[in-house]
Structure 1
């Protein structure tokens, strides 16, 4: 008779692919977030009132149907001045990254990123190939353009660059992004513009001159739809045809698809929220200057600061004061760094007040 012990023993012989065994894991610290959430770069308020109105109007019959992505892709494409075949909606940018890697990377191919950056690039690339080349930014955390260009080889098949970058808030010049795409015509280049609304510069108008360029956007940040999980890829229709082939036909849920048109149509709300972030970001950086805390100039809805050896103590103390921060010390070149999200004016005020009190409580003094 088969026993539980025998089954466990047998299952130990069932192993996943080597790449899965060796790929890193991402464990977001989502538990216990019942505080002011200045840790995940989310919208700290709410989506557009028009989204809430559409959400309340979702019917039971709508929930019984499989979601239809294509009609909403046509609406999104028109909004961004693109053709429907140039847009693919995804289950957040996380799925977009996954699909790019699955579509374009073989086991012997190389992928290229600059670090520090969004950790999910690392996770998804290494799921497909061990040949991930990382170009580390210098002490200023600015994008290392010249060294990045020099790292492109004939084996490079996928390049991913975030602008603005997470966790640094640094941007890459548009001309540099286009130069990278031109230098690697044999590779697909994805520009992750998740934080586009807080900076305003995009390569989405450059698809005609950069046929190997694909842009990723999210509706989680400025639009406030993080819980609905919806993002998009935009670019060359021929390239997206292959990406579409690797994805699920029902990857984006129907509630997200119902709400997305309302979200993108409310330009007034987006203008208001992004202005809140712009003003709040300036206030936060000025406040950090007054506190003597070193930080990196940001073009996103967050600021990365250098706390040094007391970074863990600061995060813990802020939590006791009802404010969550994100410790980025394990990111390459970020030892001692902590990130704070920028949102509404009142949230920036609470964040700065808690920060000043917490720094005093942990007896922090600048070390750089």
Structure 2
């Protein structure tokens, strides 16, 4: 006999991020491709030997983040990145047999965590435009729905959900927790955070892996009403965020100028990359994040391999529902954008690729690309 896991764990899918050998330019995982604020490095270098022997205290940094966001301290829970944030939400609010609703394609860790709870996941497929399927999503909410997941801007498409749509969905499911994943907020600029008082079932997730450049330290946050955070805090380990990450976040919060600069770099890079893709005839979708999704067609794997040979990593998203033949490229500062475009040009020309291979016409998602 052998030890068996719970049925839900045995049957759930496993996430395998292709991280091995990432020594080229990292345009594959939507990270900050440059650096965190210089204040982060200063703070980390100032840590004493004794500080590594002490259990981390989350609450002082939660108070600072709350003040930074205009919230109360009891509305903030720091997490081990958004991965743990998603886990805490599903663990706290889903019972076996409950239902959750998510629009796809989206972040695969939603699937992993919902299914691990033994809950049913209703996936609402976007159409060929990849826009959020609002009407069908709203219609999928029933009295059995106990968790609604909204990702805006969405990964891996870059599409968004309007504040009005989020408000309507939250009000349509008062019995459900509504997780609004705003991981890419700093590149989009629109949030539902200021409406938490009137939307008591909404939980906002933020990460410090993207604009803040702290991906390696694994730190994120859940932001909600005091009542919702009380429930979530019970499910969280008291030492879930390490002390180095806490010190780095504290330093980052003292440098808004750097975050604003980096976000502007990305917005400029989005426009430049979009123009370059148009010049190459590569169909792509409007995005409000720090990446652009391209449709290459059957030779998507070859493009990724050839770009890697030219020193640039891309992410093949062809296995995602509705994204057959799609490849995603992360946007960094100007130099990284130029290197990414150069690698794309070399790969495309070496492949003798033509726009007809994508199965779509140039500018599939419209002639005007909103990279602002």
Same fold (TM over 0.5): yes
Residues in 1 aligned to 2:40 and 2:268: alpha-carbon distance in whole angstroms: 24
| Residue of structure 2 equivalent to 1:17 | 6
Q: How far apart are the structure 1 equivalents of 2:245 and 2:119?
A: 34
Is 1:283 the equivalent of 2:283?
Answer: no
Give the equivalent residue in structure 2 for 1:100: 89
* Residue among 9, 14, 17 paired with 1:28: 17
- Residue of structure 2 aligned with 1:236, choices 225, 234, 239: 225
Q: Secondary structure at the match of 1:47?
A: coil
RMSD: 0.6
1:200 aligns with 2:200: no
Query: Are 1:63 and 2:66 an aligned pair?
Result: no
Residue 310 of structure 1 corresponds to 299
Conserved in 1, the CA contact under 8 Å of 2:94 and 2:119?
A: no
The CA distance in 2 between the partners of 1:129 and 1:291, in whole Å, is: 46
Q: Which residue of 1 aligns with 2:369?
A: none
2:127 alignment counterpart: 138
Residues 275-327 of structure 1 deviation map (CA, whole Å, 9 limit, x = unaligned): 10000000001111111000001100000000000100000000000100000
How far residue 90 of structure 1 moved from its aligned partner, in angstroms, is 0.1
Distance apart, 1:261 and its partner CA: 1.2
2:246 is aligned, of 257, 260, 275, to: 257
The structural deviation recorded for 1:89 is 0.1
Report the Cα offset of residue 130 of structure 1: 4.0
Counterpart pick for 1:216 among 186, 201, 205: 205
2:281: which partner in 1?
292
How many angstroms apart in 2 are the aligned matches of 1:172 and 1:160? 12
On the 8 A contact 1:112/1:156 being kept in 2, the answer is yes
Partner SS for 2:259:
helix
**Structure 1 stretch displaced more, 135-144 or 260-269:** 260-269
For 1:86-235, list aligned pairs within 5 A. 86-235=75-224
Residues 85 and 205, structure 2, Cα contact 8 Å, conserved in 1 = yes
Equivalent residue of 2:263, what SS?
helix
**Within 1, Cα distance between the matches of 2:228 and 2:65?**
18
Question: 1:233-253 CA distances to partner (integer Å, 9 max, x unpaired)?
Answer: 001110111111011000000
Deviation of 1:362 (Å): 1.3
Q: TM-score, normalised by structure 2?
A: 0.95
Cα contact 1:110–1:129 (8 A) shared by 2 = no
Residue ranges of structure 2 left out of the alignment (5+ in a row): 361-372
Q: 1:266 aligns with which of 241, 255, 265?
A: 255
Displacement after TM superposition at 1:365 (Å): 1.0
Gaps of 5+ in 1: 1-9
Deviation at 1:129, TM superposition (A): 2.2
Q: How far off is 1:135 after superposition?
A: 0.4
Counterpart position of 2:365: none
Could you list the per-position Cα deviations for residues 128-174 of structure 1 after superposition, in whole angstroms to 9, with x for gaps in the alignment?
Answer: 02410010000000000000000001000001110000000001011
SS in 1 for 2:298: helix
Q: Which residue of 1 aligns with 2:368?
A: none
How far apart, CA to CA, are the structure 2 residues paired with 1:328 and 1:46?
26
1:287 is paired with a residue whose SS is helix
TM-score (norm 1): 0.96
Alignment pair present for 1:352 and 2:346: no
Question: Following the alignment from structure 2 to structure 1, what is the Cα–Cα distance between the partners of residues 336 and 7?
Answer: 45
CA distance in 2, matches of 1:35, 1:259: 25
Match of 2:322 in 1: 333
Task: Provide, for residues 35-87 of structure 1, a one-character-per-residue CA deviation record: whole Å limited to 9, x for no partner.
Answer: 00000000010000001100111111000000000111001101000000000
